Structure 1
Amino acid sequence: MRVTQSMLSNNMLRNLSNSYSNLGKYMDQLSTGKKVNRPSDDPVVAMKGMNYRSQVVNVEQFERNIGEVHNWMDNSDAALDKATQALQRLRELAVKGSNGTYEEGQRESIAKEIDQLKDHLADIGNTKVNNKYIFNGTKTTGTIDADGNTLKPVEVDDEGIITSVSDSTDPVLIEVSSGVKLQANVNATNVFSKQLFEDIEAFSQALKDDDQAGLEDVLSNLDIHIDNTVNERADLGARMNRLELVENRVIEQQITATKMMSENEDANMEEVIMNLTSQESVHRAALSSGSRVIQPTLLDFLR
């Protein structure tokens, strides 16, 4: 086969172009830290990288969801703790008020404290976190009546009378892991029920009327409400324990997913630097030999 000057020049230019391409590839890997910067570099690695990235994104979203559930549960637990303290204080007042030695003025003072505790429980029932009612089921922004007014979980009129209590028992379910949803709220109807406030109002009225039989009934009813609150808080505590287990599992999944993604697409920097240095040497040799190939021309022989 006859080898011409044109063939030598074209081969040299093609080899130089390939050398530049390899240099560019290694420079991209060195500057980005990734061994794949476009799907054409390695379609298999790119496809796996998309799956690993999706897995990492999902795990990160689960972590944000877990934080939201923690926020709901921690605030619910704190509110139930305050509600339990208020109910315990009401029980103390019931025991004190059932003592027949108290005079009318003293019973009036106890009744005033009871009214304040009732309002305090109503405020706890209307607890808002991030502008959401945490004791109103899935109706976290409140319900709207016919007049367009927002109805709170516990409605109190201007005279301090409880007019309505939300009966929303819909659980607020938040996905904390793949296919795993946890209830973030508590069943408020077991704590802030209409019956609770009616019993407290009856308690106050029994003191004002010096109704000993009514006071005894209130005492037994308060025990029931305290038990309901404690049971609801215990159920919340069980879910909080499970949430911690799920959180630990999700953290481990994030570590594993991030490691797999890194092993799949991160470049070995030592290897990249060695390849780049070697390619630079090859490129310099190609340029040196190429300069000798294209140097002789007809003019060189006419001198």
Structure 2
Amino acid sequence: MRVTNRMLNNNVIRNINRNLEIMSRTQEQMSSGKAVSRPSDDPIVVARVLAFKTSIAANDQYKKNMEDARGWLDASERALDMATATLQRARELAVYGANGTMPDESMEALAAEVDQLIDEMVQIGNTSYGGRFLFAGTDTPEAPFERITDNTDPEFPVKYNGDTQKLDWEVAPQVTITVNENGKYVFNQAIDTNGDNTADKGIFKLLYELYEALKNHNNTQVSNTLGQFDQAIDHILDIRATLGARSNRLEMATSRLDDTQIGLTKTMSKLEDIDLAETVMNYKNQENVYRASLATGAMVLQPSLIDYLR
């Protein structure tokens, strides 16, 4: 095969451009810190990196859901802690009022405090978290409890305006956790008066009965409420235990998700990120090759017909 000067020139220029392109790619890797930045660099690696990024983004959202769910559960538990304290105070007043030697004026003073406890319990039932009412079921924008004065209303003395639906947060693929307890179950289904394991009286009704008994100086009726207050307190404590168990589960799930995220990030980094020391060494080698190709090209391209005619 006849080798011409044009062929030599083209080969030299092509090789120089190829070496320059290799240097440019390595330089881009050093500046970005990424071994691959486009599908053409390595389609298989890029596909795996994108899959890892999708998983990491999904887990970030699940973690936000868990944090919101824990916030909701913890806020509910704090509200029920206040409800427990309110019931315990009401029971103390009932113990005082059951004393047959207490003057009428003192009974009426106790009744006035119980009336305030009813308002306090309504406020607890209307506790909100982030602008959403905790005990309203799924109707979270509206306050669920309203104190009424018309005793012909079947929900007298406090009306429940929420629903009984569950709020479920997705905390993993195909995994949800209920973060709420509706106010009807918490406050209106707390006491079994018939012994048939069915709650047929609510906390507000119990407080109002205590208020009426104290106001009417009826020691016997006051005494009859003591056992029911014990039931109501136990009912709230059971709900608090359930909420606490869910919160603990979310705490463990969050910790497990953090470990998963670390593993995914490390694996993705091995695929995507460069070894800087190795890349710098490669770049210096490529630079030397490029300089050598320039020097060789200068010698190859230098001779011409004019050189021989001198």
Could you tell me which amino acid in structure 2 is paired with residue 80 of structure 1?
L
Pairwise CA distance, 1:291 = 1.2
Task: Name the structure 2 match of 1:164.
Answer: 159
Deviations 1:133-189 (A, max 9, x none): 0111122112xxxxxxxxx21112589x74411452222111122222111122432
Contact 2:160–2:183 (8 Å) recurs in 1 = no
1:128 and 2:128 aligned: yes
Could you tell me which amino acid in structure 2 is paired with residue 32 of structure 1?
S
Task: Name the structure 2 match of 1:148.
Answer: none
Percent of pairs identical after alignment? 39
Pairwise CA distance, 1:204 = 0.6
Task: Name the structure 2 match of 1:154.
Answer: 145
Alignment partner of 1:268 out of 265, 275, 284: 275
Deviations 1:42-61 (A, max 9, x none): 00000000111111111111
Which whole-Å CA distance do the structure 2 matches of 1:70 and 1:128 have between them?
14
Which whole-Å CA distance do the structure 2 matches of 1:93 and 1:132 have between them?
33
Which whole-Å CA distance do the structure 2 matches of 1:221 and 1:232 have between them?
17
Gaps of 5+ in 1: 143-151
Alignment of 1:10-159 (within 5 A): 10-142=10-142, 152-157=143-148
Deviations 1:58-104 (A, max 9, x none): 11111111110111111111111111000000001011111111111
Pairwise CA distance, 1:214 = 2.1
TM-score by length of 2: 0.90
Q: CA RMSD in A?
A: 1.8
SS of equivalent to 2:202: helix
Task: Name the structure 1 match of 2:7.
Answer: 7
Comparing 197-206 with 207-216, greater Cα deviation is found at 207-216
Which whole-Å CA distance do the structure 2 matches of 1:209 and 1:277 have between them?
97
Could you tell me which amino acid in structure 1 is paired with residue 130 of structure 2?
N
Which whole-Å CA distance do the structure 1 matches of 2:208 and 2:234 have between them?
19
Alignment partner of 1:285 out of 268, 285, 292: 292
Contact 2:144–2:183 (8 Å) recurs in 1 = no
Could you tell me which amino acid in structure 1 is paired with residue 252 of structure 2?
L
Alignment of 1:143-292 (within 5 A): 152-157=143-148, 162-166=157-161, 168-193=163-188, 195-292=202-299
TM-score by length of 1: 0.92
Task: Name the structure 2 match of 1:149.
Answer: none
Deviations 1:204-255 (A, max 9, x none): 1111111233213322222221111011011111112211221121111111
Pairwise CA distance, 1:200 = 1.0
SS of equivalent to 2:187: coil
Comparing 8-17 with 43-52, greater Cα deviation is found at 8-17
Which whole-Å CA distance do the structure 1 matches of 2:157 and 2:273 have between them?
63
Which whole-Å CA distance do the structure 2 matches of 1:106 and 1:216 have between them?
16
Which whole-Å CA distance do the structure 2 matches of 1:215 and 1:162 have between them?
18
Task: Name the structure 1 match of 2:307.
Answer: 300
Give aligned pairs, total. Answer: 294
Pairwise CA distance, 1:39 = 0.5
Which whole-Å CA distance do the structure 2 matches of 1:24 and 1:186 have between them?
62
Which whole-Å CA distance do the structure 2 matches of 1:98 and 1:190 have between them?
29
Contact 1:190–1:229 (8 Å) recurs in 2 = no
Q: State the 4+ residue runs in structure 1 displaced beyond 6 angstroms.
A: none
Could you tell me which amino acid in structure 2 is paired with residue 73 of structure 1?
L
Contact 1:137–1:185 (8 Å) recurs in 2 = yes
Which whole-Å CA distance do the structure 1 matches of 2:228 and 2:186 have between them?
13
Contact 1:33–1:269 (8 Å) recurs in 2 = yes
